[in-house]
């Protein structure tokens, strides 16, 4: 997607603080962190949101969550805990329409989750 911010980060056309990368997934620091640790985990393949994910996306969605857990372990959050958030559509505040998982930790998270 030519005009997608996250596709440009995947293509290294826009810089990001990358913390993890493999064949299918990229993880980088959120530029507006809401917690001491706030990482975005995205699929390299473009799809706009969870609502656009067909059955064929099962494996990549699972991979995103496993990558979030792996980054959490690397960041020392496994014992203290962390929250994973996926926003979809207007009411959620989704701003970039390339599916992404927020990983937040390093502080107590409140309830409700926004």
Q: Interface residues with a copy of itself (CB under 8 A)?
A: 34-35, 50-51, 53, 55, 57-63, 65-66, 68-69, 72-73, 77-94, 102, 104-114
Q: Specify the residue, 12 or 73, whose C-beta has the smaller distance to a copy of itself.
A: 73
Closest CB 13 distance from a copy of itself, rounded Å: 27
Q: Specify the residue, 8 or 48, whose C-beta has the smaller distance to a copy of itself.
A: 48
100 is catalytic: yes
Closest CB 39 distance from a copy of itself, rounded Å: 14
Residue with tokens 């995947």: 10
Which of 38, 46, 98, 100 does the annotation list as catalytic? Answer: 100
At a CB cut-off of 8 Å and minimum separation 6, what does 103 contact? 27, 37, 38, 39, 40, 41, 68, 71, 72, 82, 83, 84
Q: What is the side-by-side strand order in the sheet with 18-21? A: 18-21, 25-29, 37-43, 101-105
User: Where in the sequence numbering do the catalytic residues fall?
Assistant: 100
């Amino acid at each position: 997607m030519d005009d997608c911010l996250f596709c440009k980060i995947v293509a290294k056309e826009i810089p990001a603080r990358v913390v993890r990368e493999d064949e299918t997934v990229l993880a980088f620091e959120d530029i507006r962190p809401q917690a001491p640790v706030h990482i975005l985990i995205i699929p390299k393949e473009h799809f706009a949101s969870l609502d656009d994910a067909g059955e064929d996306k099962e494996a990549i969605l699972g991979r995103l969550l496993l990558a979030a857990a792996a980054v959490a372990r690397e960041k020392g959050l496994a014992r203290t805990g962390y929250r994973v958030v996926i926003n979809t559509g207007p009411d959620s505040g989704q701003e970039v329409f390339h599916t992404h998982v927020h990983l937040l930790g390093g502080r107590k998270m409140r309830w409700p989750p926004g």
